[in-house]
Structure 1
Amino acid sequence: MIAIDIKSINSKIGIKVTFTDPIRGTELENVISGRAAYAASDTMFGHKTDTRPAEDVTCILSAAKVGVWELDLKRGFLKFDDTMYNLFGLKRDDCPNLLDTYQVVIHPDDRQLVMIDAYERIYRGESQFNIEFRIVHRDGMIRYILANLFVERSQDGIPSKVVGVDCDVTELRNAQLKHQRPVDHAPDTAATKTSAESANRFKTRFLANISHEIRTPLAVIRGSSEILASHEVDPQKKIWIDKIIHSGEQLELLINDIMDVSKVEAGKLEVELGSVDLARILAEVKDHLSEKVTEKRIRLDFVIEGQVPTIIQTDPLRLKQILLNIIGNSIKFTDHGHVSLTIKLLPASDETSHTYLAFVVSDTGIGMTPEEKERIFKAFSQADSSISRRFGGTGLGLSISLGLAHLLGGDIVVSNSEPGKGSTFTVTINPGPISTPVLTGSAAFEIPSSVATPVPQADKRLKGLKILLVEDAEDIRATITYLLVLQGALVAEVVNGLEGVELVRKSAFDLILMDIQMPVFDGFRAIQLLRSEGCDLPVFALTAHTMKGERERCIAAGFTDYLPKPIHISNLISMIDEYRQS
């Protein structure tokens, strides 16, 4: 075990390193204090001092594999001593931008811990703490680093500098494991559970990173398509533009499905219940599927059987997601005939304690065998391997929909299916207290036309608004700027949070749009510094991270609101309008 203690006296650093021998349990101390400590603090970062004690300190630190570093928070400038370069397998001449190189060397699974969580602790007011993380050394080996951080603050309490001491604790970790007492080989339920939870966390982080990397170029595709759609083009070109937009939407849905299935498996998929206008949900579903129905030249009927409530208590987004998956599947597998959705109430019975709202989806498609029905609700599975080649799809939709239906208090079952004759799926949810008035209709029910949000034209809704865009991706920056300028906004651009903070100090803006993941200063560091300096401008987070709780995390950090990538310009403008009106 290693314990590190840092003391600051008159801006000098004193360091105490205590090693616990993992075999004998004895403690060995390397204490760097007094004159030697002051010399270490100065000499490591190029200040003049008495060289004799500094040489002693350097020898002790080097032998103990202890490196010292310093981060200037205002300038985003990181400095290493020689031991730090050795610990991380770096060469001084190969690191023109040390902070960027440092981020790359950190193990991908630990970057959030080091680059985001640690900064949050600094700006929350912690003055000293330690973290343990992994790095990928130049030799390809993974090594464990224990870092102790000491935060220096200005007179008004704003963090100005962080001094840290890093130790390579890989060998100590290995020694502890090697000399642990033998244990019996009986199954360790707790260890198995911990291992499974760790694997789930790893998969979730991996999928979140993949989602981020895909959403960034997708945001450019989406924005560029909206730019083209905002101009008058000949009908043939408009067809191709619409195809790009539609394909982008399909890719976005696929990304969402991949994220959702990981949440289902981890037991972290959640719903948000509220009052929902059922007619509007049905309208949006029918409107969304109308193009597919037209392409396949089949009929889509919505029917109300008996009476159903107009207002129900459920999660509107998740209910819509279920219906789009189930009805969309039926359309996909139906080449001739029709697809119908029947909505009805299932009253309470001896077997059920409350009333269910049922959505019965029937089609005249390819149908399924009993064996195929057993497989369709498993993730990444389809009824037959040839289906993927013929119809496409990942096999995620039904698995996710089933998990969502359970969360909404219901279920999904295959009521009937016969090869060559079609299938019937029944989706049930708990609608909450039954209200009046009700929807009725014994024939095909005419769903009210949905109020689709069109791509905004150049109606100058943001005329004269001064906006600062903080975004490191050049293509996204250019796309968002063009669309905002098209709406009459005056846009200034910077490429990282530090530049954004400095520009806000010098210029007047009405609002700020800020990416989260950026070099030098990320969005969280920038917003914390802005708020600590009294900036009360609305700042909207733009991020490709869409995991549950991301919005809450952004709000807690000081952002006004949150918008996930790919950015839909109509949603962005609506968000800005809503804030201005409030």
Structure 2
Amino acid sequence: MSFLRTFHNIVTDQTLKFEDKVQSLLTFGLKVFELDIAIISKIQQQNYSVKYVACLNNELAAGADFPLGNTYCVHTLKADKALSFHHAGNSEIATHPCYQGFQLESYIGAPIKVDGQIFGTVNFSAAKISQPFTQQHIDYIELFAQWLGAEFARRQSTYQLEQNNQTLTKLEQAAHIGTWQLDFTNNQLEWSAQTKIIQEVEPDYQPQLDSALAFYTEGSSRDTIQQAVEKAMSTGEDWDLELEITTAKNKHIWIATQGSAEFENGNCVRLFGTIQDITDAVELKNMLAQQKEAAELMLSERSKLFAKISHELRNPLNGIVGMLNAAMTEQEPQALKQQLTIALRSSDILLSIINEVLDYSKISHGELKLEPSHFILKDVFNDLTNLFTSVCANKSIQLNSNLNIAEDSAVYFDSTRLSQIVSNLLSNAIKFTEQGAVTLAVNATKAQNSSEYVDLTIEVSDTGIGMQPDTLKALFKPFNQGASNITQKYGGTGLGLSIVKELVEMMNGQVSVSSEYGHGSSFKVVLQLPVGKIQIDAAVTELEDANAEMDVSNLNVLVVDDNEINRIVMTSCLSQFNIDADIAIDGQDAVEKCRIENYDLIFMDCMMPIMDGWQATQVLRSEKLVADATVIAALTANTSEADQLKCEQAGMNLFITKPVQNAAIKNALANAIKANTA
């Protein structure tokens, strides 16, 4: 059989693997050349590595390495073609290391090239002298080398393609991107593995065009993709869309789909593109859009707050400033008293607005805490009834009170915040009632589910202007007072009812409202309060009873404040009690004065330069510069629990918030007397 026929039969045998074909060709070559060793080498730089080998006596194994210069192949590479020696000892390579070391007399080899670059060699050799090699031998080994080069190139391309496919698959999985193509020559639609994962179908699922479109959510998404496909087929325009689909497992997700068309002779023969799961990105985008909308709403609400508060603050400030300016030149005592009364009333309104804003700020930031204490429940509502009876009388309306509360019913609750809820509801009812009556109905009974709780129901109703349905829907939102004409007529911040709602919810209660436009409104609050204990401090009671007649002129008082106006206000208030107080301009000044003088009562501002009130108090207490009985009252505009605790830890006895009321000063004086007489 001819060389070419045998070679052809081996390389075209589809039952043989590449390695088997190589070994068969090497073995066949040994017979053809009548030699002992057949090698396919791989050459990298100056290293000669045996990749495949066939030996009659198995004296050489694949993987062996030699210096390239010690092999006859160095001459083959230099010649860049097939080269042969049948008697090396009688040739120009007789001095070559390969001959000197192995006495190889016969050699025929050819370079193997892959994409024009040297890969290695295929060569045959033996220690015996052979017959001279013919041109047919040269042709065979060159054909063998060319086939090897082509196979190595193909295998290398196949390997690279497989690597690329693996990389592409990994990228598809990592980015949730799948590919697809629709071949119109055979109407075959193909989905990549990742596309099938995104669509939640089985790996062997065979998509069809109609069923593929059915995955797109019916309506805008499906209509949009159909229009994009039709446009691409007619005009060649690509698409890049974000659409919603419903997967095979009925899961709603968002995808980014890109597509392109391929044309031949003016006809669309193929559509292809990608699909990517972007559900997380869309949800993030929607969340950011919602956050942006919320931020813009918050900015809008803040602008409303500033505008509203600015307007509401200016009204009482106008009353204070205007009446005080008028009082400066007023000579008639009765008129002067009236002007000062209006100024004080305006200051009360101003303080009320400020307190509302501060409460709303605390509630918004989760800083408002309930401070429970034991108290007689009915006392709170008696005080409120007495307070608002005169308010109603000033508007010529009647306050009806129906208090179904046991005289000795004590609860453990935050009396201040409970009073604030009812006060806000009564103030709101009185504000919007021009004639008729406001009714406060309270019912307190032992809870049915536990004897340790009291069920409290509070109803505040009026015969006022009432509310329309739209107003009721947004009633408890801050800054809301209904129609603009209502706001303009009645004023107010619109925070009162929103604070009521927040407080009631903090108390695990419920608040509801019913109203008929033009016929009044009714608010109902339902709370459950823990049963408390009646605690009466006899000493305090006696002291309070004696407050009106107490003599405090002998008390030695120090006022510490860095603000000159605040010092003047405090000393003026104290002068009403025949007290000529000393003053200190900061904490350090106060410490120095206490080294010289003994004080019974110190009004200590907290925020001061050089040394603040907390530091000064700690020094006074730690260095015994004041007596243990000395009462130190904190003066501060901060009202949080943390601020009160800080004052207590510094050694302060009382906590007085600015602006300071006469009642607070009187209480501080009473405590000082009590401490000094104990």
Instruction: State TM-score, norm by structure 1.
Output: 0.55
Runs of 4+ in 1 over 6 A off after TM superposition: 306-309
Q: What are the residue-to-residue correspondences of 1:242-261 with 2, within 5 Å?
A: 242-261=341-360
Q: 5 Å matches for 1:180-329?
A: 234-304=333-403, 310-329=409-428
Q: Is 2:595 the counterpart of 1:502?
A: no
| Kept after mapping to 2: 8 A contact 1:463/1:488 | yes
* 2:509 maps to 1:418: no
Change (3 A) 1:467 1:337: same
CA contact (8 A) 2:562 2:586 kept: yes
8 A Cα contact 2:374 2:533, kept in partner: no
Structure 2: distance between partners of 1:307 and 1:493 = 49
Q: Aligned-pair distance for 1:282?
A: 1.5
Displacement of 1:533 in angstroms is 2.0
CA–CA distance in structure 2, aligned partners of residues 435 and 541 of structure 1? 29
Number of aligned pairs?
357
- Mapped to 1, the partners of 2:405 and 2:416 lie a distance apart of 25
Instruction: Indicate if the aligned counterparts of 1:308 and 1:343 stay in contact, CA closer than 8 A.
Output: no
TM-aligned CA distance change 1:270 to 1:409, over 3 Å:
same
Match of 1:483 among 549, 553, 573: 573
2:622 is aligned with 1:532: yes
**Structure 1 residues 309 and 366: alpha-carbon distance in aligned structure 2, compared to 1, 3 A threshold:** farther
> 1:497-540: CA deviations, max 9, x gaps?
11111111122322321111122222122222223322244322
Q: Is the 8 A contact 2:463 2:520 kept in 1?
A: yes
Mapped contact 1:469–1:513 kept (Cα < 8 A): yes
User: 2:661 matched to 1:571?
Assistant: no
Matched, 1:395 2:485: no
1:233–1:346 CA distance, 2 compared to 1 (3 A): farther
1:429 aligns with 2:527: yes
Query: Match of 1:522?
Result: 612
d(CA) in 2 for partners of 1:349, 1:310:
16
Percent identity between the aligned chains? 31
Q: Which amino acid aligns with 1:496?
A: D
Deviation at 1:307, TM superposition (A): 6.5
Equivalence for 2:261: none
Q: CA shift at 1:299, angstroms?
A: 0.6
The answer as to whether partners of 1:309 and 1:435 remain within 8 angstroms in 2 is no
2:462 partner amino acid: D
* 1:552 equivalenced with 2:552 (yes/no): no
Corresponding position of 2:477: 378
1:187 is displaced (CA, Å) by 5.1
SS state of the match for residue 393, structure 1?
A: coil
Report the CA distance between 1:425 and its aligned residue: 0.5
After TM superposition, give the deviation of residue 400 of structure 1 in Å: 0.6
Correspondence for 2:557 among 452, 456, 467 = 467
Give TM-score scaled by structure 2 length: 0.47
Instruction: Report the Cα distance in structure 1 between the residues aligned to 2:337 and 2:389, rounded to whole angstroms.
Output: 19
**Contact kept in structure 2, 1:412 and 1:427, CA below 8 Å:** yes
The CA deviation at 1:354 is 6.9
Q: CA offsets, 1:448-474, max 9 Å, x none?
A: xxxxx99x98x6732121111111111
Structure 2 unaligned spans of 5+: 1-279, 535-543
Deviation at 1:340, TM superposition (A): 0.5
Task: Tell me which of the two structures has the higher relative contact order, counting C-alpha pairs closer than 8 angstroms and 6 or more residues apart.
Answer: 1
Other structure's SS at 1:490 match? coil
Across the aligned residues of Structure 1 and Structure 2, the Cα RMSD in angstroms comes to: 4.0
Matches within 5 A, 1:129-140: none
What letter corresponds to residue 551 of structure 1 in structure 2? Q
Provide the residue aligned with 1:366 in structure 2: 465
Note if contact 2:591-2:616 (Cα within 8 Å) is conserved in structure 1: yes
The whole-number CA distance in structure 1 between the counterparts of 2:633 and 2:533 is: 38
Point out the structure with max Rg over C-alpha: 2
User: Which of the two has greater helix per residue?
Assistant: 2
Return 5+ residue gaps in structure 1 as ranges: 1-183, 437-452
1:348, 1:463 → 2: CA distance?
A: 51
